[in-house]
Amino acid sequence: MNCKSNFICPLLVAAVSAGLASCQTVQTTQSGAVGVERTQVMMLSSAEVNKASQQAYRKTLQEAAKKKALNRDASQVQRVRAIAARLIPATSAFRADAPRWQWEVNVIASQEVNAWCMPGGKIAVYSGLIEKLNVTDEELAAVMGHEIAHALREHGRERASQQAAQSTAIGIGAALLGIGNAGASLANIVADVTVGLPYSREFEREADRIGVELAARAGYDPRAAISLWQKMGQAGGSAPPQFLSTHPSPENRARDLTDYAARVMPLYQAARRR
Ligand SMILES: [Zn+2]
């Protein structure tokens, strides 16, 4: 076990000493041209998180299909899948295994301005995002690149690990007190952390930076991320999209995106020449 200093370590130590979990320090991605480097502590394996993700994704698609909201507009589906087909090969710059993941890309008909990528490459783009923001292909590539980046960095696994550490600690406390532990299934946790709960600023910064590089390598103008997030902020007037509440939008986000888009411009220009 190699935890280094991390806020969840006391919990992990408690969990491990109780024989309930083990902790790994990992480097999920190469740093890329944008230089994302941060050691991550994981309690859950990729295999178990990806299996849970598959279950959660299946369930989401089934529910959408029941409401006749799954891939309703063939032209939107074709558009989103064509962009994914360019972004996915670009993931090899960050991790060699990613292009071979079982990627899935679907469009959910919904008023909601939303998009996400569950662990292991399970993508959904909501029609509300495409229509309400009137996105260009470059902007769509920006939002999809950002969401794919969360999956490459395994932010869902990291977040679920933090949750598991907490609930294990709660479980231990509860066991000591003789109280039962309710505990959600891992599939629910994975769905929650991907779709419903905000990621930290640090995770968002990493996804922004890797996202612009993925877009650039796929031949999409990385500067479109700036207008995408501006449109996102303007959408809905006084009631901004739910998406923004799970994607904290600090004032310096536009500055960071401008900076990193400039750094990856040579990759974009090289991709355009191919
Ligand atoms: Zn994000």
> Cα(49) to centroid of ligand 1, in Å?
18
Q: Is 147 a catalytic residue?
A: yes
Quickly state the pLDDT bin for 9 (edges 50, 70, 90).
very low
Q: What angle do CA 12, 13, 19 make, to 5 degrees?
A: 90
- Pairwise CA distance, residues 99 & 96, whole Å: 7
Q: Residue 111 CB: number of other CB atoms within 10 A?
A: 11
**Cα 122 to middle of ligand 1, angstroms:** 15
- Tell me how far apart the alpha carbons of residues 246 and 155 are, in angstroms, rounded to a whole number: 13
| pLDDT at residue 166 greater than cutoff 60 | yes
139, 147, 158, 213: the catalytic one is 147
60-114 pLDDT tens trace: 999 999 999 999 999 999 999 999 999 999 999 999 999 999 999 999 999 999 9
Ligand 1 center to 248 CA (angstroms) = 8
Give 182-228 pLDDT, tens digit per residue. 335 888 888 888 887 888 889 999 999 999 999 999 999 999 999 99
Q: Where are the alpha helices (DSSP H) in 67-136?
A: 74-90, 127-132
Residues with CB under 5 A from ligand 1 (ion): 207, 247
The Å distance, Cα 151 to ligand 1 centre, comes to 10
Report the separation in Å between the CA atom of 195 and the middle of ligand 1, taken as the mean of its atom positions.
10
Scanning the structure block, which residue is given the tokens 């999809």?
144
Q: Output the pLDDT for position 139.
A: 98
